[in-house]
Structure 1
Amino acid sequence: MTLLEFKEDRPTPKAVYNWRVYTCAAVASFAACMIGYDSAFIGTTLALPSFTKEFDFASKSPSALALLQANIVSVYQAGAFFGSLFAYATSYFLGRRKSLFIFVTVFILGAGIMLAASGERGLAPIIAGRVLAGIGVGGASNMVPIYISELSPPAIRGRLVGIYELGWQIGGLVGFWINYGVNTTLPPNRSQWLIPFGVQLIPAGLLLIGAVWIKESPRWLFANGKREEALKVLCWLRNLEPSDIYIIEEVRAIDEDLERYTKSVGKGFWKPFLALKQPKVQWRFFLGGMLFLFQNGSGINAINYYSPTVFRSIGITGTNTGFLTTGIFGVVKTVLTVVWLLYLVDLVGRRRMLFIGATGGSLCMWFIGAYIKIAGPGSKQSDGKLTPGGIAAVFFFYLWTAFYTPSWNGTPWVVNSEMFDHNTRSLGQASAAANNWFWNFIISRFTPQMFLKMEYGVYFFFASLMIISIVFVWFCVPETKSIPLEAMDRLFAIKPTHRANEILMRDLQLEDEEFRRNASVERSSAEDEKEKLDTLQKTVSV
């Protein structure tokens, strides 16, 4: 396989891989830009001299300051946790597109409230605004992967959901660099720290405009009885006519999937909750939650939210130096996300990348922790120059980034967007997003205290969790690459797990060949009957 070839479950017209499906995915992924920016900018903003001076951080003890910073950061994750749950209700009643519109509006309201903070008013507007912004990004983090997954052809589903992750990294890249820019070019006044808060409104505004243009998910429309509109949207997305065999097969698969789950689960807002009684459904909900536990257990959000603290523990001092190092971290993540998006996720696959990322990332974390244990750079006075050991630790930090980014960074979102059936997909994604934000909250809330108490032990803790994740993925997570959404139940029923994708892809190709052969026979029979009828009419006429 090459970059432009795909492993397909059936013969697919090239017209299916068109600009429309990519553009809809890209527009929806502006939500990821605002999520990524919010996750990245806050840590360095809290370290800006203008911000620390205006809110008098110098008068606080180390433990009190750590608690304050943890609260500012973590209320965002708390809001996101509830937003991801609210999205289930809006998605069910209003659809994917209108839900995005609602949650980006809530985010914009929260971002606007943050701009009211000042030394006189205190930090209350920032904390309140981050709660609302969190609700907005929590809902969006639920909706966007589902939306993209439901409009994607199977062979490029990972790539399209990966655009969401790319948006997250682009937003994060801007968030990591913006404070370096304002700290080096602007005087340390109120405007210096207000600019990073104001930039939140840019990707949110673009999503608000884009939500007017993008189409509703055709699968949601089919499920809600809007067949004419659903078929029209599906044909527009695939750039094919309704009579094309590809469209006929896709509609047939969607109908069969809906009929099967209507019989087994039933329609209604509460019916998917009843499906949780089924062990197979419980299992996939458990897998989704565990993937995000291990994603956060890699240490990524400790770095995202508290990068100055992380780099200080390695021995990097000075505000600008810390910001520069953080900015380079953002560049490495973004470049590797592009590689993952274009090549790795749909060609190498989900499972293999998770194995590679966890193995390499764990080894890097063990080295960094050992260096801090032996050299103790964070506890010594420094002239700003790194020792050879410190340089090696920084190298291994960036190497960890190289292992983590194309594996655990976006892959859990891809797998969770794929593995649920239609009737439990919204609830399953709500559960997955809530799990993400719950573990995100735990990490963001306790990271400052962990660095105060555990020091080098923080890195050993993350390294150990990454080792455990290898065992978990091998025994529990099947490869979902190239599997149609309607066949996920069959995938998760196949044992052994590590061969499930191979077995199912072979079965699907055989079934498609049989369907096309039968369709050809029926078409040939219909043509024969028509020819006989034409002959008879001519005979009668004579």
Structure 2
Amino acid sequence: MGLLTLKEDRPTPKAVYNWRVYTAASVASWAACMIGYDSAFIGTTLALPSFVDEFKLHAPKQISVAHLALQKANIVSVYQAGAFFGALGAYVSSHYLGRKKSLLFWTTIFMIGAGIMLGANGDRGLGLIIGGRVLAGLGVGGCSNMVPIYISELSPPAVRGRLVGIYELGWQIGGLVGFWINYGLSETMAPSRRQWTIPFAIQLVPGGCLLLGALWLRESPRWLFANGKREEAMKNLCWIRGDLPADHPYILEEVEAIDRQVEHDRIHVGAGFWKPFLALKQKKVLYRFLLGGGLFLWQNGSGINAINYYSPTVFKSIGVTGTNTGFLTTGIFGVVKTTLTLVWLLYLIDHLGRTKLLMIGAFGGSMCMWYIAAYIKIADPKNHPSPSGQLSSGGISAMFFFYLWTAFYTPSWNGTPWVVNSEMYSQQTRSLGQAFAAANNWFWNFLISRFTPQMFLKMDYGVYMFFAILMLLSIPYVFFLIPETKGIPLEKMDELFEIKPAYKAHRTMMARLDEVDHVLGYGNEKPKNDERMESV
């Protein structure tokens, strides 16, 4: 059906794949630009000579190397700590305010935090930066909960992975700007307070774009149906489906499926703020929560956030010397990630599927990490730097495998866990499930960002071996426990996760859907929508 459309599990009017659904996903994904920018710019900003001079982070006689590493770790990690609580808090705001208003609320919190950071200087110390990063973290934590849910609830099943993937693309675009900005500033601007405040100020741009764009967005129809606001829900659903009339067969079928799911959840979960928590007493619900949260353990176990937040340290361990050279290498890393995210978004996620991507990415990425660890062990670039200041042939090969690792990781573990978690829960537990998943992401993110400097001081090449082992361990986790969700309607997720073994669940579920079509007399031909409704 074309690059921007795919064959759905039922007859689909062309109007469903319209500009509104893609634009809504893109507007909401400004939140991901905020997150991606921060994960990229903070590491290189801490390495800017102007920032180091302003806050006296380079005096070895006054401050030990270990204490300096601790200070940098605190600056970085308080953001993740705030995001952990923001992700949990978004469940509260989502329940009472809805998806759209929650997004506006948490974006405002982020903007306040980003503004506070701009007041820091050498005389005031790091307090305003740390305090502002806590608030900014709360904001992005809340947004990281809301955006994938919001997009998945608007999406037609066949392109749901692609649309949620726009969130990941936004993350990478923000990261690309963050990776390059300090290289540009260090090349074009003399060291000054202005030089390091510009990267902090840029945070306000994606936040402001989201606040303005969100005024155009409409509330999630599924949230409205679940909360008894049927008239507004129908209006929004028809709008996002390209102004299809309320009595169109496609709309009638989608509403029927939503109603069935809402009724099922009312009986088995119940309505109200605390009911999803009580639903965790059901083993099948708790099991799915643990599966989704576990994906972020393995994602962070790949080493990505150690690289994102401390890229100069990572490249220095391989033998890259010089501030600007490290910034340039980091910028190329951002280009590779963004380019491969486009491939993942436009083709891989909705064609190859979720679980295959995760397993291929984990195996290939692990092999690359083993090579880098072996190079550092044998060559010891920290104690035996190249006399010319350039990378040796072995160092060049290590850099090649680092970028190859990026090629394996980016179109697999970078965004796929967010896609899976946005679609694997039922309507009544989706907000709590996503809160739990996002909190898991930020919890493991916090641990990595907090202890990476100490890990490099104590473990050296062992850091890469640690991440390589974790990537290998993620493969059986995915294969035996995570069913493929590609192309499965949201309202069929409960049934999908009941099928065992997990690696056969997708095939079985698709066969059931095909059987329903066969019973209705569709065969291998796509019927007209009015014919299908007459059959129903």
Structure 2 length-normalised TM? 0.96
Indicate the residue corresponding to 1:56 in structure 2: 56
Structure 2 Cα separation of the partners of residues 513 and 105 of structure 1: 50
* Paired residue type of 2:374: A
User: How far 1:524 moved relative to its partner?
Assistant: 9.2
* Cα displacement string for residues 318-356 of structure 1 (whole angstroms, at most 9, x for unaligned residues): 000000000000000000000000000000100110111
Indicate the residue corresponding to 2:458 in structure 1: 453
Indicate the residue corresponding to 2:86 in structure 1: 83
Preserved contact between residue 114 and residue 204 of structure 2 (Cα < 8 Å): yes
Of 96-105 and 371-380, more deviation after overlay is shown by: 371-380
User: How far 1:265 moved relative to its partner?
Assistant: 1.0
Structure 1 Cα separation of the partners of residues 298 and 382 of structure 2: 27
Structure 1 residue matching 2:6: 3-state secondary structure: coil
- 1:209 and 2:200 matched: no
Written as runs of structure 1 = structure 2, the 5 A alignment for 1:134-173 is 134-173=137-176
Of 8-17 and 385-394, more deviation after overlay is shown by: 8-17
Preserved contact between residue 47 and residue 319 of structure 1 (Cα < 8 Å): yes
* Paired residue type of 2:164: V
Structure 2 residue matching 1:46: 3-state secondary structure: helix
Structure 1 residue matching 2:215: 3-state secondary structure: helix
* Cα displacement string for residues 241-277 of structure 1 (whole angstroms, at most 9, x for unaligned residues): 1111110000000000000110111100000000000
Which of 92, 97, 100 lines up with 1:94 in the alignment?
97
* Paired residue type of 1:497: A
Indicate the residue corresponding to 1:529 in structure 2: none
Preserved contact between residue 366 and residue 469 of structure 2 (Cα < 8 Å): yes
Of 125-134 and 240-249, more deviation after overlay is shown by: 240-249
User: How far 1:516 moved relative to its partner?
Assistant: 7.5
Structure 1 Cα separation of the partners of residues 131 and 518 of structure 2: 58
* Paired residue type of 1:38: D
Indicate the residue corresponding to 1:406 in structure 2: 411
* Cα displacement string for residues 378-404 of structure 1 (whole angstroms, at most 9, x for unaligned residues): 223443211110000000000000000
Structure 1 Cα separation of the partners of residues 266 and 534 of structure 2: 31
- 1:266 and 2:250 matched: no
Indicate the residue corresponding to 1:40 in structure 2: 40
Structure 2 Cα separation of the partners of residues 266 and 176 of structure 1: 46
Number of aligned residue pairs: 525
Indicate the residue corresponding to 1:438 in structure 2: 443
Written as runs of structure 1 = structure 2, the 5 A alignment for 1:179-194 is 179-194=182-197
User: How far 1:509 moved relative to its partner?
Assistant: 2.8
Indicate the residue corresponding to 2:525 in structure 1: none
Inter-CA distance 250–133: structure 2 relative to 1 (3 Å threshold)? same
Structure 2 Cα separation of the partners of residues 337 and 522 of structure 1: 39
Structure 2 residue matching 1:408: 3-state secondary structure: coil
Structure 2 Cα separation of the partners of residues 64 and 507 of structure 1: 60
Indicate the residue corresponding to 2:298 in structure 1: 294
Structure 2 Cα separation of the partners of residues 516 and 253 of structure 1: 20
Indicate the residue corresponding to 2:434 in structure 1: 429
User: How far 1:487 moved relative to its partner?
Assistant: 0.3
* Paired residue type of 1:503: T
Indicate the residue corresponding to 1:28 in structure 2: 28
Preserved contact between residue 96 and residue 147 of structure 1 (Cα < 8 Å): yes
- 1:504 and 2:509 matched: yes
Indicate the residue corresponding to 2:71 in structure 1: 68
* Paired residue type of 1:385: Q
* Cα displacement string for residues 120-149 of structure 1 (whole angstroms, at most 9, x for unaligned residues): 000000000000000000000000000000
Written as runs of structure 1 = structure 2, the 5 A alignment for 1:329-408 is 329-382=333-386, 383-408=388-413
Which of 247, 272, 276 lines up with 2:280 in the alignment?
276
Of 8-17 and 391-400, more deviation after overlay is shown by: 8-17
Structure 1 Cα separation of the partners of residues 515 and 31 of structure 2: 39
Structure 1 Cα separation of the partners of residues 123 and 319 of structure 2: 35
Which of 97, 114, 118 lines up with 1:115 in the alignment?
118
Preserved contact between residue 6 and residue 347 of structure 1 (Cα < 8 Å): no
Inter-CA distance 521–422: structure 2 relative to 1 (3 Å threshold)? closer
User: How far 1:519 moved relative to its partner?
Assistant: 8.2
* Cα displacement string for residues 446-497 of structure 1 (whole angstroms, at most 9, x for unaligned residues): 0000000000000000000000001110100000000000000110011121
Structure 1 length-normalised TM? 0.95
Structure 1 Cα separation of the partners of residues 451 and 7 of structure 2: 43
* Cα displacement string for residues 30-71 of structure 1 (whole angstroms, at most 9, x for unaligned residues): 000001001110000000000001111112221011000000
- 1:246 and 2:250 matched: yes
Inter-CA distance 42–522: structure 2 relative to 1 (3 Å threshold)? closer
Structure 2 residue matching 1:70: 3-state secondary structure: helix
- 1:13 and 2:13 matched: yes
Inter-CA distance 210–522: structure 2 relative to 1 (3 Å threshold)? closer
- 1:237 and 2:277 matched: no
Structure 2 Cα separation of the partners of residues 158 and 204 of structure 1: 24
Which of 488, 492, 495 lines up with 2:497 in the alignment?
492
* Paired residue type of 1:91: S
Inter-CA distance 519–126: structure 2 relative to 1 (3 Å threshold)? same
Preserved contact between residue 421 and residue 434 of structure 2 (Cα < 8 Å): yes
- 1:131 and 2:130 matched: no
Which of 228, 234, 242 lines up with 1:225 in the alignment?
228
* Paired residue type of 1:13: P
* Paired residue type of 2:42: I
Q: Percent identity?
A: 71
Q: Which has the higher helix share?
A: 1
What value does the CA root-mean-square deviation take over the aligned residues? 1.6
Structure 2 residue matching 1:213: 3-state secondary structure: coil
User: 5+ residue gaps in structure 1?
Assistant: 526-542
Structure 2 Cα separation of the partners of residues 195 and 418 of structure 1: 38
Preserved contact between residue 36 and residue 172 of structure 1 (Cα < 8 Å): yes
* Paired residue type of 1:47: A
Structure 2 Cα separation of the partners of residues 344 and 128 of structure 1: 40
